[in-house]
Amino acid sequence: MTIGRLIAAALMGITAGVALPPPSAQADTLRIVRSGTDSVLSVPMNRAVVVESDIPFAELSIANPAIADISSLSDRSIYVLGKSPGTTTLTILDGQGQLITNVDVRVAADVAEFKERLGQILPGETIEVRTANDGIVLSGVVSSTLKMERALELAQRYAPERVSNLMSVGGVQQVMLKVRFAEMQRSVAKSLRASIAANGTALGGTLDLGTGNAAGSLATPTPSGGDIEGGVLFGFDAGGLEVGILLEALESKGVVRTLAEPNLTALSGQEAKFLAGGEYPVPVAQTDDTTTVEFKPFGVELNFIPRVVDGDLINLELKAAVSSIDTNNGIDIGDIRIDGFRRRETSTTVEMRDGESFAIAGLLQDDFRDVSGQVPWLGDIPILGALFRSADYAREQSELVIIVTPHLVTPTRGEALALPTDRVVPPTERDLFLYGRVSGGSSAPTRGAAGEVARQDFSGSYGYVMD
């Protein structure tokens, strides 16, 4: 029994020795010496700084040599050169390989030189310059959009594609554009015609001949035909022959004046549109044999985009047009009459200061027409040949001028503005029927700028007077 127990105990010991795991390894065989850094070193790009250590060191290491380059000047001095924007770590070890310290090296654009150049190029502007990560942040208030663009362009040279703009533009940034459209049309037409007719018997035969309108006017003492204007008929009898001479002389003159003066206000950089006129319906045939109606605008049109460039210097991108319906030029499609349009337009970009004016468009059109007709051979006879000739003369002139004037404006309080209807109230029945008044008492304001306007005397001619 004793030997069996000993053998069983031995087998159990062997099994236990095989099943038990080996002793665990030490947990501190891999240990982080130090996490984080003790200090931060800022180095301008393409510049170098010298760093001194209080403890002598034996070894230096830089995590990313593409950001910064290092070299030792002595066992206590380190030369650090900034190469490209970014952040890396500088590690310093002593002679026994022990860590002395970790330093964060941050390389950024050279804002010191940038600030100096910015002050030279844009003196007097309150622009703040900061670095963020590997870029430049600009903030503050500038006096114009042009100076803000110059500051951003300069910053791009120091930190390409890494410039953040937090600047705002101060000053007046709203522009009122005053546009004057003036068009004058003049027309002169003159015509001189002579006609002769003879009717009766001559040389034993019947004679019936005539030229022009006189042939149909012998029976009447004065011309009455629908196409005879300014005509005088002379007639006489020579035996059995009746002779008539018709002289037509006509002169017509016409003058048309068109004037529009729209005012429109817009924020700098924003588009403003203006239309004073209407829309003309135009039928449009579709591919599915249906007809739709499109409306074509006409009248005085104005589109512009103002940009306050520098102080009171204003850049204007302008489109202006004057159009009207022309009933003389049109087409007939079945029972539908579609009139044509007369349109004069201009598109331009100009720069001017507050209150200055430009004549951006001037069109002078001069049409001349001269027509002469005569009866062959008879019109060439001296003196009497004038009875067989006719002449028409027509001349048309039109002149269009567009003048623009921008103004920098600021909003005001509503009670300071006056309307054309402020001083007019509907009449009472007593005023209308008893006294013949077309308006009642005045409701004009008495205070402020509107009151000053209301006190002015408008009893004479005012507004646009057409002479």
pTM of the model: 0.54
CB 271 within 8 A of CB 237: no
Joined together, the tokens standing for residue 340 give 């044509």
Q: Which residues, in sequence order, are bridge partners of residue 105?
A: 41, 88
- Measure Cα distances from 168 to 18, 107, 132, 310 in Å: 79, 28, 19, 14
Residue-range domains of the chain with CATH:
39-108 (2.60.40.1080), 111-169 (3.30.1340.30), 177-181+256-409 (no CATH), 414-455 (no CATH)
Helical (H) or strand (E) element with 156:
helix 145-158
Print pLDDT tens along the chain (467 aa).
344 443 344 445 444 444 445 544 444 566 666 665 678 888 888 889 998 888 888 889 999 999 999 998 888 899 999 888 888 999 988 888 888 888 999 888 778 888 888 888 888 888 888 887 778 899 988 877 788 888 999 988 888 888 899 988 876 788 889 888 888 888 888 887 777 676 766 555 565 555 655 555 454 444 444 445 556 666 667 666 776 667 777 777 777 677 778 888 898 888 999 888 888 888 888 888 788 888 988 888 889 999 888 778 889 999 988 888 888 888 887 777 888 888 888 889 999 888 898 888 777 778 888 888 777 777 777 877 776 778 888 888 888 888 889 998 888 776 666 666 666 777 888 888 887 777 766 555 566 555 655 565 544 443 333 33
Instruction: Give helix then strand counts, H and E, for the chain.
Output: 5, 21
Q: Side chain identity at 121, as an amino acid letter?
A: I
Task: Count CB-CB contacts under 10 A for residue 1.
Answer: 5
Q: Which of 272, 278, 228 is nearest to 406 (CA)?
A: 272
